[in-house]
Amino acid sequence: MKILKWILIVVAVIVIIPLLAAAFMKKDYTIVQEVVINKPKQQVFDYVKYVDNQNKFNKWVLADPAIKIVNKGTDGTVGFVQSWDSKEINSKGEQEIKQIVEGEKIESELRFEKPFPGVSPTSLQTASMADNQTKVTWTFHGHMSWPLNIMRPMAVSMMNTDLQESLGMLKKQLEQ
């Protein structure tokens, strides 16, 4: 009987307590990362508004050389949709350009099928810091339902790192 009691205590600690904790954790998150690029604002905007160009600095796309990408519509315009399917990073979904404020901001919607279904609004915004300096701000909104939200702090930390690395690649590419 003592062994059964200890087994139940261990199960409670490993399973039940984290599930209860997840019930009280936030489910929504916003990640914002920025980089300053030594190029004029319009030149930077003209590059980042194209999803195909975003693939050249997006760490997640670059992680799988065999990623399958399909485009529908005209890249750099509202309504353009790019779908992806990656076995390497276990990700499948699509990105649709929802709004463009010319020279300022590109708003997109990411729709994930794998690893978990979800919709995440994202935006890339450019702001002139000087004649030859542009700040790029990448914002990503997400939602993790219970009980997966127990992983939210770890996921947000990883995505912050990945967005910053991606923006670092963008800076390097545009300043060459």
pLDDT of residue 20: 65
pLDDT of residue 38: 96
Arch. (CATH architecture) of 27-175: 2-Layer Sandwich (3.30)
Q: What is the largest CA-CA distance in the chain?
A: 76
- Kind and range of the H or E element at 168? helix 152-175
Q: What is the CA radius of gyration of the chain?
A: 20
Q: What average pLDDT does range 9-26 have in this prediction?
A: 71
pLDDT at 150 exceeding the cut of 80: no
pLDDT of residue 104: 94
Say if CB 69 and CB 84 are below 8 A apart.
yes
Helical H runs in 17-63? 17-23, 41-48, 51-54, 59-62
Chain-wide mean pLDDT for the chain? 87
- Give me the residue spans of the domains in the chain: 27-175
